[in-house]
Amino acid sequence: MILSTPLESRHIDLGAKMAEFAGYNMPILYTNLQEEHHAVRKSVGVFDVSHMGEFIVKGKQALDLVQRISSNDASTLAIGQAQYSCLPNETGGIVDDMLVYRLPQDMCAEGEQAFMLVVNASNIHKDWDHIQKYASAFDTRIIDISDKTGLLAVQGPKAKALLQPLTDVNLDDIPYYHFAKGTVAGIDNVLISATGYTGSGGFELYVDSKDVVAMWDIIMNLDHPVKPVPAGLGARDTLRLEMGYCLYGNDIDDTTSVLEGGLGWITKLNKNSDFPSKEIFKKQKKTGVDKKLVGFIVDDRRVPRHGYPICDASGNEIGVVTSGTLSPTLQVPLGMAYVPSAYAAIGSTFDVKAGTKMLSAKVVSMPFVDVENI
């Protein structure tokens, strides 16, 4: 059975092209990809991402449990702060990537702490089962609030100007990867998070699912010089790919390590707590990895697609494309791929096999675009 977010009827009313994604009927496109993409890069776009999963971890050993399952160091989080992290599995792969929020103490009884883990929609059940394997050893409670939580991503350089009249929270006081709780559009208890998956700034608004339609309506119909554009998952993918952000299931999965996937920066091997595959990652850091995730551009008009083989100059398959698109900002085909470490240096060249055609490609640094100068 395909699930729906509370906003499904709004998307259909707007004429969105709908398709199944992660088990949900989601808007892929409203008007055209270029328009939605550029709205986020230059103004503001609004995404319904209510399909994402949210778990609350609370209790006297909540931090201990988060530390046990997470690659990053949650002990560094102050209340009101978030971090990007992942859930490593026991065999050197990744169960999921996630955001970890340190929640206010009003969520807790005395002596307790509380965290929120935000996980990918396609992995909610898998992540829950994985965390439960470790939870029994700790004095914690884990609550799945995914079905009760709506989530709007209001993204772009003009997001703050659009949202500020709707809230009594001073949005200038929320630095990147921090959050505050407050009233937005007359709706109480909204978690206003200065995070996103686009690279163009903005906020993610966590709200009770029963209120998310009202919030959408107010934001989209606001009498304001800044006009928000509804944006679908198609633009979300091109925006994140231009930034070199990983998509779980494409660029990272159960078989790829954090070091292969370029996520060593969220893997704190020196933190006091053990976590799954810590020793495997330590060994990889010491000896190096055989393959690495790289960004590349193609000297052709054809777009590289997920699953296309990467070949050396002799035509031997040496890697695979994980994500690819025609960049709306740069107007060139680009992608990400796993290649042998010998081919991972900036400037390295290889071919992408697109059917019977070989596309010349070159490794470049990520992000692909400089959002400050668009």
25 assigned to some structural domain: yes
Cβ atoms of 256 and 246 within 8 Å: the answer is: no
Domain boundary among 207, 241, 275: 241
Cβ atoms of 41 and 200 within 8 Å: the answer is: yes
| Residue-level pLDDT at 21 | 97
Whether residue 309 is found in the same domain as residue 373: yes
User: What's 298's domain CATH number?
Assistant: 2.40.30.110
Domain count, the chain: 2
Domain boundary among 241, 276, 302: 241
pTM comes to: 0.97
In terms of residue numbers, what domain contains 363? Answer: 290-374
For tokens 């240096």, what's the residue? 345
- The whole-angstrom separation of Cα 106 and Cα 335 is 44
- Structure-block tokens of residue 203: 């906020």
273 assigned to some structural domain: no
Domain boundary among 181, 211, 241: 241
Backbone Cα Rg of the chain: 21
| Residue-level pLDDT at 108 | 84
For tokens 């993918």, what's the residue? 237
* CA 241 centroid distance within chain: 11
209 assigned to some structural domain: yes
Cβ atoms of 116 and 74 within 8 Å: the answer is: no
Whether residue 204 is found in the same domain as residue 332: no
Cβ atoms of 51 and 209 within 8 Å: the answer is: no
In Å, how far are 9, 83, 295 from 325, measured between CA atoms?
29, 28, 12
| Residue-level pLDDT at 107 | 75
Closest CA to 216 of 264, 270, 276, 154: 154
Whether residue 233 is found in the same domain as residue 344: no
23 assigned to some structural domain: yes
Whether residue 199 is found in the same domain as residue 313: no
176 assigned to some structural domain: yes
Whether residue 350 is found in the same domain as residue 230: no
| Residue-level pLDDT at 109 | 85
Whether residue 344 is found in the same domain as residue 215: no
Whether residue 208 is found in the same domain as residue 338: no
Can you say whether residue 170 is alpha, beta or left, with left for phi > 0 and alpha for psi between -120 and 50 degrees?
beta
| Residue-level pLDDT at 150 | 98
- Structure-block tokens of residue 144: 């799945």
305 assigned to some structural domain: yes
Alpha helix (H) residue ranges in the chain: 8-13, 33-42, 62-69, 124-135, 159-163, 212-220, 233-242, 278-287
Whether residue 153 is found in the same domain as residue 233: yes
260 assigned to some structural domain: no
Whether residue 162 is found in the same domain as residue 230: yes
User: What's 210's domain CATH number?
Assistant: 3.30.1360.120
15 assigned to some structural domain: yes
Profile the chain (374 residues) by mean pLDDT over runs of 10 residues. 97 98 98 97 98 98 98 98 98 98 89 97 98 97 98 98 98 98 97 98 98 98 96 98 98 98 98 98 98 97 97 98 98 98 98 97 98 87
Give the β-pairing of 24-29 and 82-88. unpaired
- The whole-angstrom separation of Cα 293 and Cα 313 is 19
